[in-house]
Structure 1
Amino acid sequence: MTTSAAGDADPDSFERVVNDLAPGCTVDDTEEGGLYVATVNGVVKYGVFVDLSEQLSGLVHESKLDGTYEIGDEMLVRLVEIRENGDLGFEDVTTEFDDLDRVDVAHGDGVTIDELADRTGDAVHVEGDIVQIKQTAGPTIFSVRDGTGVVPCAAFEEAGVRAYPAIELGDTVRATGGIETHDDAPQLEVDKLVRLRGEAKTEVRERIDAAIAANAEPADPDPLIEWPAFDSLREGLTAVARRLRTAVLEGRPIRVRHHADGDGMCAAIPVQLALENYIAEVHADPDAPRHLFKRLPSKAPFYEMEDVTRDLNFALEDAERHGQRLPLLFMVDNGSTEEDTPAYRALAQYDIPIIAVDHHHPDPDAVGPLLDEHVNPYLHGEDYRITTGMMCVELARMIDPSITDDLRHVPAVAGLADRSKAHAMDDYLALAADAGYDETELEDIVEALDYAAHWLRYQSGPNLISDALDLDCDDAERHAELVEFLSSRARRDVERQLDDAEPHVEHERLDNDAHLYRLDVENHARRFTYPAPGKTTGELHDRKVTETGDPVITIGVGPDFAVLRSDGVRLDIPNMVTELQDELEGAGVSGGGHLVVGSIKFVPGARERVLDALVEKMEAAELDAELRSTLLRDDN
């Protein structure tokens, strides 16, 4: 007999405890002298017949009755005799006790959820927390987690009618029933579902917390390359991996918001692959990876109110319609700046934890109080040369080390996509070469990702992007043909754009001897097609750097924005934005990015004022002699 107190019962006080048997309990779950909850199922001249469970019945003889009962009445009985033929004899003790502590008696073995795959056909009970309640046209599906996994428990009432309406999300329960196979995965067919209270709840909660803490601990694989600058980030990445694995074990949905560029995709997709693998390992429901993980690209380099409003609305709808918990938000290659804080404050009204892994220049004072975890190389004295893709490949390996061989080329793609000048790029390129990718192939992948992201706009395009990145792609020929097609189209469109724009590029030599190139992308570049203004400005900038070998600043100007690129000049774009906000009243200046790559927004009427002030600050910036010599050496 397996028991667990449903209240604050003293197990040593036998006479103060009454046992409430689960439907599947048999005589093996009883003992002579024990007190039981019984339901009257028949009234005869010589007594009443009672049920203790669906499998267990007996007689209370008229000589042992203290009251009058009707069918359906509940009474308390003592088991006085188990005869050799299996018949049971009881006595009525209903009136003898005014205050009894109930103990729920579960039928079958008490098991953990990770053991259920081998228990098909067995009667068991599991104890854990309700993490989802979903009403179907048939049963009510309660998802229960115990720190080792999550299992769907199907409770049947009338078709489409909510079973156990008193059970709520977050309750700690015991589910008793048989294990059946549903969609090739274990499912518990509920005989009884009870909410635990008092000591029983405390014991189960402590057990769950300990199991989650143990199972959430990330792996500690050796880094893909030796890079001392990266070492200071590993502790933070380990904490993020622990939070993400904990969310999976808790049955909490995960939403990843990432910048929709090459580095952002190289960061988000390995994490997606690792988390979907881990969700499939933890959750018995084969559809859990699809329901509990979503990857969402962001066009802006910060979390826009449009995006957070959409995300919050979908999260609340999922909670209402599918009985899910509110999600954890994971910001990737995004989320470190003051511009993110309005969206974060919107989420702060709800139970939505936020973590961020980013390499844009951060504002820790602004975002720190709103983030549960924040990993950024700037917080450790490093800079944007450590790309988010490089960090998230290591993060993904902490979540699921088995995917390591599939990821060896991804950090190099991320570095090329964000033009990282880190010395470690040589090691990443060598690592990719060992995996079968030369630098030309990696550059083609970068162009293919950028081209696909442009046309996907706000869609994640999981299959297309994975095939282009050659991540979880099962057809090498398709990958090669897809990358060749997308990258060649991208280069063709870029060349057309630059050839048409080149005659309209304005050039001047600044007082600090840097070249300044300016292009009106509103009037002298194709709109609503590839490449977008930011890409156009970046490609023009790269062309001018190659042509001159000198320090170069390029500005792509629109009616209410400016895209900035710089090589060989010590700009600090986030700081410039802050200064312009203070200096230009009514200009509506906002923006940011990296120190030498970023964008600025302003009201259209202040365009000339903003640009003039911007150029003045660029003229006052120092040249970067080390970078300039690198450019000249590379050019030669």
Structure 2
Amino acid sequence: MTDASADDGAGAPAVVDLQPSCTAEEVATDEYYHATVNGVVEYGIFVDLSEHVSGLVHESTFDGDREFEVGDDAVVKLTEVRDNGDLSFELASLEDYETVDREHDYERVAADAVGEHVGDTVHIEGEVVQIKQTGGPTIFRVRDETSAVPCTSFEAAGVRAHPDVDVGDLVHVKGDVEERDGTFQVEVTQLDVLDAEDAADVAGRLEAALDELAEPAEIDPLVEWPALEQMLPELRSVARTLRRAVLEGRPIRMRHHADGDGMCASVPVQYALTKFIEDAHQDGDAGRHLLKRLPSKAPYYEMEDATRDLNFALEDRARHGQKLPLLLMLDNGSTEEDTPAYKALDHYDIPIVVVDHHHPDPEAVDPLVDEHVNPYLHGEDYRITTGMLCVELARMLYPGLTDELEHVPAVAGLSDRSKADAMTDYLELARDAGYDEQFLHQISEALDYEAYMLRYDPGTQLINDVLNVNGDEDRHRELVPFVANRADEDVAEQLDAVESHVDHERVANGANLYRIDVENHAHRFTYPAPGKTTGEVHDRKVEETGEPVITIGYGPDFAVLRSDGVRLDIPTMVEELNAELPGAGVSGGGHLVVGSIRFVPGMRQQVLDALIEKMAEAELDEELHSAPKR
């Protein structure tokens, strides 16, 4: 037995109480330590000093009469550190001593700097934002104040390492930095969940850093337009939300209407978010896992799409340890038709952000979404297209993209027939960037054509080339005229087929009403689709007459509506039809003067008759204005 008091002079000796995260690097021979017995054998006792420091107290160092049980406390002295790393202790009996706390002593390395330490052992503190089990190691993605870095830990092939660690835990990681496929990762030698005090310190650092890193870039809008400028604060809030989602490792599922304006909205945002993800995560695959762009054919968020999104999200959480996603709705999502799908997602932790320019129903939508940006909420209308809004949003998300996006708002405006005075400025901006108006129209037509051909596939690289956002400039200049001409030929063939089947009448308010059965008198399952076919017939009739025109393209259970020079309110008409025609199952919407509705096939004639009657009562505009496309 050792009498420690004699070893330490006149003062009371110090007994070190190691924090759980301490390692053998924090111990030294001839020091005293608080220990806990974790095993009793014939030749002594095994003791733990921390979660990572343990050793043997040989029975020769204490009286044989003294007995220990697992869990007993003891004071020990470190006498030897052997070549193989084993620690030898002797039991100490101290009448008086002072306890000294000792924390794990290491120098943290920032996650965004691990690439500078290849081959070195590093320490990282942060939050676990993803846990992915592979056929080999378990990959913990750990985020600190600067970035997120993959940390690989191998237990056995396909076996979950550190099963006590969960997504959201604040941890300390020790490991060796490796480079693999152009990215960097930490091969874990030690991974500990921080205790409450240390976790609070790390959480505070992370929160402060997140607030700073999530702050959007300061921008001036591309054109001077007060109507748009009043919406910039809301767009900044959306940009902040999206940047924070990326920093927190929350996936983003981007849903957008599959048309020209929807692509002009979604592609720049996808480009900006991808670049931000690459900066924020030390992993070349992060962009693929954290961002999905998904076109929607319907002019609202369908339950089918919501069910798919929810299923993929839950599977990704189960298979890859991801958080549930944020849903970003672009050029869609503002109407009562969206709410059933939103309510389905409301059972899960899935934030919803909407940027749209269709006539909204804020009373129905706003209780179910986290943010809602729409020009109608500011007394404006569809002339501020979603593509115009989202180009500014993309510039806030990631600085330095302006030169690549200057032509996009003009394409968005032409795609949705914006008659805003600001279109003159957007067209001039595009012209200065090398795009004349004819070529911009060709881009718009090419986007519509490719959207139809791609169906539900985002076609990322193809659409990038068509819109020339993160695409190939030379290929863009060759591809756009080819696709646009192909689209024109298909439209001409379709119009030749339907022209003789278009019915005309002049209704009570003086407007020209044109009707076409697109189910029976147009080519099916080919471009252009019924909506586009109806729009092309409508445009031709507007040009021919120069008068107010209403066009209805209908099938067994749907009708596509277009109007110029007539003040329609399609969402209101849908509500009235539902009340007046029980059992018709009328639904749909869109813009005030352009949209689509659905109904049960057996009530088609009653719905169309009632619809035409309402259109015949609508007031005419003093001037003829082209309706937005839908």
TM-score using structure 1 length? 0.89
Q: Which residue matches 1:308?
A: 306
Shift of 1:470: 1.0
- Within the candidate set 560, 566, 570, 1:573 is matched to 570
Sort the Cα spacing of 1:387 and 1:39 in 2 relative to 1 into closer, same or farther, 3 A: same
| Alpha-carbon separation, structure 1, partners of 2:454 and 2:95 | 73
- Does residue 609 (structure 1) correspond to residue 606 (structure 2)? The answer is yes
Query: Alpha carbons of 1:364 and 1:54: their partners in 2 closer, same or farther (altered >3 Å)?
Result: closer
Asked whether 1:557 is paired with 2:567, we answer no
In the other structure, the counterpart of 2:249 is 251
Give SS of 2:139's match: strand
- Cα distance between partner residues in 2 of 1:591 and 1:94: 83
Q: For the residues of structure 2 that align with 1:558 and 1:30, how far apart are their CA atoms? A: 88
1:592 CA displacement: 0.4
Change (3 A) 1:104 1:313: farther
Deviations 1:454-476 (A, max 9, x none): 011011111111111111113x3
Q: 1:110 aligns with which of 108, 111, 120?
A: 108
SS in 2 for 1:110: coil
Tell me how far apart the structure 2 counterparts of residues 31 and 403 of structure 1 sit (CA, whole Å). 62
Aligned to 2:263: 265
Contact in 2 for aligned 1:173/1:194 (Cα 8 Å): yes
Q: Counterpart in 2 of 1:125?
A: 123
Partner letter of residue 148 of structure 2?
V
Check conservation: 1:143, 1:150, Cα contact below 8 A: yes
Residue 42 of structure 1: how far off its partner (Å):
11
SS of the equivalent of 1:173 reads: strand
Residues 81-119 of structure 1 show CA distances to partners (whole Å, capped at 9, x for unaligned) of 799x9998744369999xx9997626x312332332323
1:149-548 matches, cutoff 5 A: 149-474=147-472, 476-548=473-545
Question: SS where residue 354 of structure 2 aligns?
Answer: strand
Q: Which amino acid aligns with 1:556?
A: G
The one-letter code matched in structure 1 to 2:291 is F
Structure 2 counterpart SS, 1:401: coil
Q: What is the Cα deviation at residue 179 of structure 1?
A: 2.2
Are the counterparts in 2 of residues 331 and 354 from structure 1 also a CA contact under 8 Å?
yes
What SS does structure 1 have at the residue aligned with 2:114? helix
The C-alpha deviation readout for 1:274-323, integer Å capped at 9, x for no partner, is 11111111111111001111111000011111111111111111111111
Aligned to 1:10: none
Q: CA, structure 1 residues 602+27, in 2 after alignment: closer, same or farther (shift >3 Å)?
A: closer
Contact 1:257 1:329 in 2 (8 A): yes
> Per-residue deviation at 1:523?
1.2
1:588 positional shift: 0.8
SS at match of 1:582: helix
Deviation at 1:220, TM superposition (A): 1.5
Q: Which runs of 5+ in 2 are unaligned?
A: 1-13
1:172-218 residue CA offsets vs partner (Å, 9 max, x unmatched)? 22212222223222212212111223222222222211211111111
CA offset at residue 145 of structure 1?
A: 1.6
AA in 2 matched with 1:18: L
Query: What is the rounded CA distance, in whole Å, between the counterparts of 1:253 and 1:94 in structure 2?
Result: 57
Q: Superposition pairs for residues 574-593 of structure 1, below 5 Å?
A: 574-593=571-590
Provide the C-alpha distance between the structure 1 equivalents of 2:301 and 2:318, rounded to a whole number of angstroms: 25
Kindly provide the amino acid, as one letter, of the partner of residue 332 in structure 1. Answer: L
TM-score (norm 2): 0.89
**In the alignment, residue 144 of structure 2 is paired with which amino acid?**
D
Q: In structure 2, do the counterparts of structure 1 residues 229 and 123 end up closer, same or farther at CA, with 3 Å as the change threshold?
A: same
Shift of residue 125 of structure 1?
2.0
Secondary structure, aligned partner of 1:124: strand
Change (3 A) 1:87 1:286: closer
What SS class does the counterpart of residue 26 from structure 1 fall into?
Answer: helix
Q: Deviations over 1:384-435 (max 9, x none)?
A: 1100100011001100012221111011111111111111111111111111
> Which amino acid in 1 is paired with 2:466?
A
Greater CA deviation, 73-82 or 284-293?
A: 73-82
Task: Give unmatched runs, 5+ long, in structure 1.
Answer: 1-13, 632-636
- 1:185 touches 1:284 (CA, 8 Å); kept in 2? yes
CA distance in structure 1 between the aligned counterparts of 2:187 and 2:393, rounded to whole angstroms: 37
Deviation of 1:54 (Å) = 8.3
Q: 1:368 to 1:78 in 2, by over 3 A?
A: same
Following TM superposition, by how much is the alpha carbon of 1:484 offset from its aligned partner in structure 2, in angstroms?
A: 1.6
Pairing 1:3-22 to 2, within 5 Å after superposition: 17-20=17-20, 22=22
2:565·2:620 contact (CA, 8 Å) conserved in 1?
A: yes
Change (3 A) 1:585 1:318: same
Equivalent position amino acid for 1:387 in 2: T
Matched residue type, 1:361 = H
